[in-house]
Structure 1
Amino acid sequence: MFMIEEDFGRARGCNQHHTSHMVGNIGGREFAESLAPDVQKLLLSSSCRPLVRKKVALCLLRLFRKNSDIVNVDGWSDRMAQLLDECDLGVLTSSMSLFVALVANNHEAYSSCLPKCVQILERLSRNQDVPQEYTYYGIPSPWLQVKTMRALQYFPTVEDPTTRRALFEVLQWILMGTDVVKNVNKNNASHAVLFEALALVMHIDSEKEMMSQCVALLGKFIVVREPNIRYLGLENMTRMLMVTDEKIK
């Protein structure tokens, strides 16, 4: 255990990277008790390389999932807000995976991070500072978009009017910008984002106009020839009808 702690403290990124990978794979209670503070410290280190921080975030996620009673995340709201401001999309995506687990466990502790999530969606929807390697068939980081919208669904509602308005604009952009195309890979990515957006619209009890727009969009998916898309369209139409009838009349 001493040698592992030493590797986390060394400046050489390759040692920290491999050690994070090993600790995350094992994820035992002994590792969580002894190493979680070192992992947390390394994740927040500004001198740590992005490649290492990505792996460290996933390592901490693994430790938290397996040992949530041991890994101390009290007071981590400000630290998560700092991580959600990350410019590197690789680190941000890994941090968002960690954030989803944290809000699933206790969303109230991270309510201050909600505007940060909306800002991430705004950044992606406008394709601002999205490197080519994180653009999949013209879609800006669909994995991060899905994770961020999933995190928002753990919060009961969006109270702040400015944040709520910004979120609705992003959702509107997603609804208007998604269609069925011939490329299967692009369809899979864009529809993953779309259906997560639909789930978020239903969750936040959106306005009648947006709900009606969702129903009209789902109607297009129901009549396409691709069976998987038709199934997803029917499934989400059923879910939307179960939410409320009044908003779509």
Structure 2
Amino acid sequence: MPAVRGDGMRGLAVFISDIRNCKSKEAEVKRINKELANIRSKFKGDKTLDGYQKKKYVCKLLFIFLLGHDIDFGHMEAVNLLSSNKYTEKQIGYLFISVLVNTNSDLIKLIVQSIKNDLGSRNPVHVNLALQCIANIGSKEMADAFGSDIPKLLVSGETMDVVKQSAALCLLRLFRTTQEIIPGGEWTSRIIHLLNDQHMGVVTAACSLIEALVKKNPDEYKGCVSLAVSRLSRIVTASYTDLQDYTYYFVPAPWLSVKLLRLLQHYPPPDDPGVRGRLNECLDTILNKAQEPPKSKKFNTPMQRMLSFLKLLV
């Protein structure tokens, strides 16, 4: 559940406190039924509810659902929150829809239109909320509705890095549902070249997506090998200051390195002598660093963990 701040949704905080203080299951059910009746009457009878009030009542319904109770109303109010320009209201609307709206619902057309509006927004926060909702639902209907929008968002030069990262993961989620969602042809090269992106978060997300694509069609995506080796080489030879935000226990980007190694595992050694040489240098460097004593007594270094993984590869 979203955090309840002292300056907002006091009614939600009081309701949660009441539930926690119930001495029996019967008392909890009685309190919940009372609240459901109150919310239902507010939604039906009060036409002046503002966004804050709708958000509060929708949050209560979410909390009640998480306690194991069925919720059969409030869906339209949640959909209405999607049109809000306030982050918290839009966020709660998307959260409710992701959890409680069936893809066969009559509201799905309204939801799809709202998501399309947010995908086309200039506000990256709104775009990310829409992408997260699509990924959370992850249905064939979502893939059909947004299968052409998300790849464009992923490879566009105008897309912000945080949105590209979310788009790659969203596309991966939909690909697992409908593999036909990923276009071929020129799109293959554009997706592969995300491995060369300057933003490490984009590269990490793209690597997961590309590995899934490689499993389906390794020949089409074999161009990723040279770029994966190049990126791995840059990581392995990087200093602490080069990748300071992605360094863990003095090792630059260890998780991305493992992802790249897993990706390369789907292909035989590169035919190009230069690429093969760089790959061998990377592996030698990793193996040599893994023999160094740990810089921390508390944990083994990620390089040693990577060594264990390399042993599995061979």
Which TM-score applies when normalising by structure 1? 0.75
Compute the RMSD of aligned alpha carbons: 1.8
> How many pairs are equivalent?
200
State whether structure 2 residue 214 is matched by structure 1 residue 131. Answer: no
Contact map agreement 1:146 1:192 (CA 8 A) in 2: no
Structure 1 residue 186: Cα displacement = 5.0
State whether structure 2 residue 184 is matched by structure 1 residue 74. Answer: yes
State whether structure 2 residue 171 is matched by structure 1 residue 56. Answer: no
- CA distance in 1 between counterparts of 2:294 and 2:177 reads 41
TM-superposition CA deviations, 1:4-32 (whole Å, max 9, x none): 11211111111111111111111100110
1:17 — aligned with what? 128
1:189 — aligned with what? 302
Where do 1:26-175 residues align within 5 Å?
A: 26-68=137-179, 70-75=180-185, 76-127=187-238, 130-175=242-287
Q: Cα–Cα, structure 1 residues 30 and 185, in superposed 2: closer, same or farther, change >3 Å?
A: farther
The SS at the match of 2:181 is: coil
Q: Which fold has the larger relative contact order, with Cα–Cα distance below 8 Å and residues 6 or more apart in sequence?
A: 1
Which TM-score applies when normalising by structure 2? 0.60
Structure 1 residue 50: Cα displacement = 1.1
Tell me the percent identity: 34
Q: Which has the higher helix share?
A: 1
Q: Cα–Cα, structure 1 residues 25 and 50, in superposed 2: closer, same or farther, change >3 Å?
A: same
Structure 1 residue 36: Cα displacement = 1.8
Contact map agreement 1:7 1:19 (CA 8 A) in 2: yes
TM-superposition CA deviations, 1:75-127 (whole Å, max 9, x none): 23211232111011011111111111111111111111210000011100111
1:205 — aligned with what? none
Structure 1 residue 149: Cα displacement = 0.3
- CA distance in 1 between counterparts of 2:127 and 2:254 reads 28
Q: Cα–Cα, structure 1 residues 111 and 23, in superposed 2: closer, same or farther, change >3 Å?
A: same
Structure 1 residue 133: Cα displacement = 1.4
Contact map agreement 2:118 2:130 (CA 8 A) in 1: yes
- CA distance in 2 between counterparts of 1:185 and 1:66 reads 41
